[in-house]
Amino acid sequence: MIGLLRFLFFNGLVRLVTLVVLGLNVRHRERLPSSGPAILVANHNSHLDTLVLMTLLPARLLSRLQPVAADDYFLRNRPLAWFAREIIGILPIRRDQPVRCGDPLAPLETALAAGRILILFPEGTRGEPERLSRFKKGVAYLAERHPDIPVIPIYLHGLGKALPRGEALLVPFFCDVYVGKRLTWSDGRLAYMRGLESAMQALAAEGSFPQWE
């Protein structure tokens, strides 16, 4: 039953919204993974980000998609927590977990070992529309441990205006998605993060978007 509800939600409601209401324009779709394991890394401005990213891949991969999010956000509301985990497929992690409690990346590694496609937002939280914040290094640790797993940067534009942070009303707005080339592990985490940030900035520049007012 859960699998059916998830299928109907994404392949009915969410795809309808992204195609009709948002007028989504996807560039370089061929760079998306055709199977797992893989890691999609994107900027984060809106609750729509996760839903849009999950509709970029074929419906046959829906059961393998797992967005990663901090579990403390969903603990505030039990119905929301159920919907996030069961329907959206959120993989919750503890961002305040001390080292003595275990490896905070262990759930992500388990998911990758099972062939899942993870969705990560290295900014950690939703920022200002179309403004990149500093990335956290968790993705570099994963890339270091699994250098053969593709890490694909994706730049999202317009979603922060269609559904801004703190707003509940969806505004029809043309949105763009730019899919980057696979990143390869380089010499050290710092160099890797610089490469990721450069790749994301290059994708943002590719659209030649004007500054938001």
**What confidence score (pLDDT) does residue 213 get?**
44
Residue 68: which region, alpha, beta or left (left: phi > 0; alpha: psi -120 to 50)? beta
Say if strands 65-70 and 38-42 run parallel, antiparallel, or are unpaired: unpaired
Q: What is the pLDDT along the chain (213 residues), one digit of tens a residue?
A: 788 888 888 888 888 878 777 778 899 999 999 999 999 999 988 888 998 999 999 989 999 999 998 776 665 677 778 888 888 888 988 766 555 566 888 999 999 999 999 999 988 665 565 667 778 888 999 999 999 999 999 999 888 777 766 666 677 778 899 999 999 887 789 999 999 999 999 998 887 776 654
If DSSP codes are grouped into helix, strand and coil, which group holds residue 129?
coil
**pLDDT score of 118:** 97
Task: Return the ∠ at Cα 204 (arms to 169 and 43), rounded to 5°.
Answer: 50
Q: Which of 150, 159, 187, 175 is nearest to 41 (CA)?
A: 150
pLDDT reported for residue 210: 64
What domains does the chain contain, in order, with CATH numbers?
2-206 (3.40.1130.10)
Q: What is the pLDDT of residue 203?
A: 93
Strand 38-42 and strand 151-157: pairing?
parallel
